[in-house]
């Protein structure tokens, strides 16, 4: 047996998904104190312990794929900034969804917030050029929520995802502030037949501030720019840019209604 | 640090997802005896133990978010009724799917039945006005199956979901008896730009008895009524009511077929 | 209480999902050595231990639903062949996706590869006519990835799935070599109103070699044949056969663009 599956690997040991998951759980407890376990009397010590534990776990996995031993520290320096952004996402979610009873419900149960939280963590690790681990994180989110956000995507503040199943946001997508996206939306590439040779090109669209994209819409292509304040209706399929302050909807589809034979 | 994430919470302690999951596992063993572990000799004692254990676990979590200590008892009084309804859903699933070999396969492997079972439990807790826990349950189902049924939706008997990934059924949807729904169907709201200010309004459609809705169809709006015996074809997008005994399909889409250059 | 849920079962004991999952984990470690735990010094002994452990676990579950005690052995005789096919799928995935950094990323994080690996295992068990367990496996994949491949489907070599959420491949679908499928694609049945009475018929399409099917397309019907080298565009809905070397796309949808009132 001498297949690509067993052949020489780039790393002596692969990052452990179990440990990455454990670190993620600790980060969730740190970012959302009191939501996933009660806060003990001494909150400050508790939080600093969570951070230390997460650091130790993540550092061990990062060293399996990186030689620069400063990367984990650089990531943890961003953690409070990440938390601030996530707080804005939680607020945007509450404001956006009439079914939300309160902030607690959003933090404990909303798949969009779960996926965005992981994205914001994975994106920082991606910016530090850490291999494999950002994608392991984004696939954890994808698996749990059906929301597939590549860690390379650039996403602004106050991002709101509702329901979320089937959403795909590609590696080179750029999204502004205050954008709302519903289930089944694809921000994708135009054609993929060239495969690996497209690597590095901007293949996915740019979405500017205050854009709303309803369920099932597909926006494709690296040169496609959806300008600010645009609303894209359900199931719209678009491969060209749209000017600001525009509402784009499908022409009413021609439906055929037949009476059933009794 | 003084963010909404750490600020005063409505509850001293949040319900534990781990315990909610444990209670759910016990309820599945109770509802489907012998499917998730062998039944010991003394079946009656076994079932009553399962119920007691589930009660204890769930009661502890409910008391974290409710002051009325009768709610758990009220829920458990409904459990045999819930089980009866689930049995009908299992039958409807068997009758509806030509790929189903037998009832066992449906109970052990069908995501639709998993999601409907959780919905029927979560809906009872929702009717008792228990906060957070119904949504925690429905998101467990959503995460595992891609089927997102809000616990507030009202769903009749003999409900059949096939495949299911991407289905969204909104909080104020009303569904009759003997309805069949396929993957990617949305029973949703028309416009959500007003967010929280829409709270409490009927935003999602009414689906009457014996309606079949094929994959990818979207039915939107709180005033939209799909009357009995209607069939909605794949990918139909509809925001208006449909009279009984009607078949609604998309006009054949204009496809462009080009021969590829050799 | 005397419902279908408690009534006489076909098997004395149901296969345990926990044990099926454990066996699957061991098979993943065997198929992808070094990816899910480090390989010890003596690789050969390690691999043979993994295989033995997986055999023991799976054999116990298979005997719960089968009387022929040779079936597990017959399955394990196919394991190296399965591994070879999976290697080709990994290669096809790397060649097909410009976002893939290397083979390691694909094996550790790609949901398509996870679902295809499970499909190739489940399909062999299906061919041996083992009940329940193939569907338990395919639903594990469906739950984790949103990709729903019936174990009965026949799929050729070099199969590539990207993103994958919402894909449905029916029991009687036949897929050739070197086929690429994106998220939300359905290879489904035309009409299901007849339910169980359709059992055994070829209800799902045939896809020949070198076909690419982009996101959201639906190809329906047991007599529908998509011939070799065809490309099916996003969201195409098709119920008829397509000749070889054809590109099929939707006519540009009529979009309505309105300027929003300021």
CA distance C98 to A90: 33
- For B149, name the nearest residue in chain A, comparing CA atoms only: A163
Q: Which helix (H) or strand (E) holds B61?
A: helix B43-65
Using pLDDT thresholds of 50, 70 and 90, give the confidence band for residue B198.
confident
Q: Residue A54 domain-assigned?
A: yes
Structure tokens at C20: 């099926």
Q: Residue C262 domain-assigned?
A: no
Residues C101, C52 share a domain: yes
Using pLDDT thresholds of 50, 70 and 90, give the confidence band for residue A2.
very low
DSSP conformation letters of C11-39? SSSPPPHHHHHHHHHHHHHHHSTTTSSPP
Q: Which residues contact C206 (CB under 8 A, 6 or more apart)?
A: C173, C174, C175, C224, C225, C226
Residues, chain B, total? 262
Q: Residue A254 domain-assigned?
A: no
Using pLDDT thresholds of 50, 70 and 90, give the confidence band for residue A3.
low
Residues, chain A, total? 262
Lowest mean pLDDT among A244-253, B9-18, B103-112, C5-14: C5-14
Kindly report, residue by residue over B28-65, the tens digit of the pLDDT.
999 999 999 999 989 999 999 999 999 999 999 999 99
Residues A184, A87 share a domain: no
Q: Residue C254 domain-assigned?
A: no
Q: Residue A5 domain-assigned?
A: no
Average pLDDT, chain C: 93
Residues A142, A35 share a domain: yes
Q: Residue B4 domain-assigned?
A: no
Residues C89, C75 share a domain: yes
- The whole-number average pLDDT for the span A84-94 is 95
Q: Can you give the pLDDT at residue B104?
A: 93
Kindly report, residue by residue over C95-154, the tens digit of the pLDDT.
988 888 889 999 999 999 999 999 999 999 999 999 999 999 999 999 999 999 999 999
For the cut 90, the answer to whether the pLDDT of residue A73 exceeds it is yes
Kindly report, residue by residue over C45-83, the tens digit of the pLDDT.
999 999 999 999 999 999 999 999 999 999 999 999 999
Q: Can you give the pLDDT at residue A1?
A: 45
Lowest mean pLDDT among A34-48, A128-142, C188-202: C188-202
CATH of residue C139's domain is 1.10.3130.10
Kindly report, residue by residue over A137-148, the tens digit of the pLDDT.
999 999 999 999
3-state secondary structure of C20: helix
**Cβ within 8 Å, pair C229-B260:** yes
Pick C105's closest partner by Cβ from A16, A135, A142.
Answer: A135
Q: Residue C256 domain-assigned?
A: no
Q: Which domain holds residue A185?
A: 153-190+201-248
Residues A228, A170 share a domain: yes
Residues, chain C, total? 262
Residues C16, C141 share a domain: yes
CATH of residue B221's domain is 2.160.10.10
Q: Can you give the pLDDT at residue A252?
A: 83
Q: Can you give the pLDDT at residue B131?
A: 96
- The whole-number average pLDDT for the span C25-37 is 95
Average pLDDT, chain A: 93
For the cut 90, the answer to whether the pLDDT of residue B199 exceeds it is no
Using pLDDT thresholds of 50, 70 and 90, give the confidence band for residue A195.
low
Residues C186, C192, C195, C196: is their CA dihedral positive or negative?
negative
Residues A138, A94 share a domain: yes
Residues A239, A137 share a domain: no
For the cut 60, the answer to whether the pLDDT of residue B229 exceeds it is yes
Residues B132, B38 share a domain: yes
Pick A104's closest partner by Cβ from B1, B10, B201.
Answer: B10
Closest CA of chain B from A134, distance in Å: 21
Tally the domains of chain A.
Answer: 2
Residues C86, C71 share a domain: yes
Residue of B100, B99, B155 whose CA lies nearest to B127: B155
Q: Residue C38 domain-assigned?
A: yes
Residues C176, C66 share a domain: no
CA C72 vs. chain centroid, Å, equals 20
Closest CA of chain B from C14, distance in Å: 6
Q: Which residue has the tokens 């228990």?
A: B130
- Chain A residues lying within 8 Å of C80, measured CB to CB: 1
> Any CB–CB contact under 8 A between C237 and chain B?
yes
Residues B165, B41 share a domain: no
> Any CB–CB contact under 8 A between A168 and chain C?
yes
Query: Looking at B113, B147, B181, which one is the last position of a domain?
Result: B147
């Amino acid at each position: 047996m001498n297949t690509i599956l067993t052949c020489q690997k780039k790393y002596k040991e692969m990052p452990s998904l179990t440990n990455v998951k454990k670190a993620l759980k600790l980060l969730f407890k740190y970012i959302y104190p009191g939501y996933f376990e009660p806060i003990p009397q001494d909150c400050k010590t508790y939080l600093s312990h969570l951070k230390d534990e997460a650091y130790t776990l993540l550092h061990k996995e990062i060293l399996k794929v990186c030689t620069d031993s400063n990367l984990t520290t650089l990531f943890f320096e961003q953690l409070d900034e990440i938390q601030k952004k996530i707080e804005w996402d939680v607020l945007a979610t509450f404001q956006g969804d009439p079914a939300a009873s309160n902030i607690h419900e959003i933090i404990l149960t909303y798949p969009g917030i779960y996926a965005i939280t992981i994205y914001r963590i994975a994106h920082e690790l991606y910016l530090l050029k850490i291999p494999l681990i950002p994608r392991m994180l984004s696939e954890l989110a994808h698996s749990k929520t059906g929301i597939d956000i590549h860690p390379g995507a650039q996403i602004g503040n106050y991002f709101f995802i509702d329901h979320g199943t089937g959403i795909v946001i590609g590696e080179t997508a750029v999204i502004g502030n205050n954008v709302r996206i519903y289930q089944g939306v694809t921000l994708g590439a135009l054609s993929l037949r060239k495969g690996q040779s497209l690597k590095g090109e901007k293949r996915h669209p740019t979405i500017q501030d205050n854009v709303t994209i309803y369920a099932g819409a597909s926006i494709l292509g690296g040169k496609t720019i959806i300008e600010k304040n645009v609303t894209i209706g359900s199931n719209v399929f678009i491969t060209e840019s749209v000017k600001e302050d525009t509402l784009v909807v499908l022409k009413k589809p021609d439906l055929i209604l037949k009476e059933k034979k009794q």
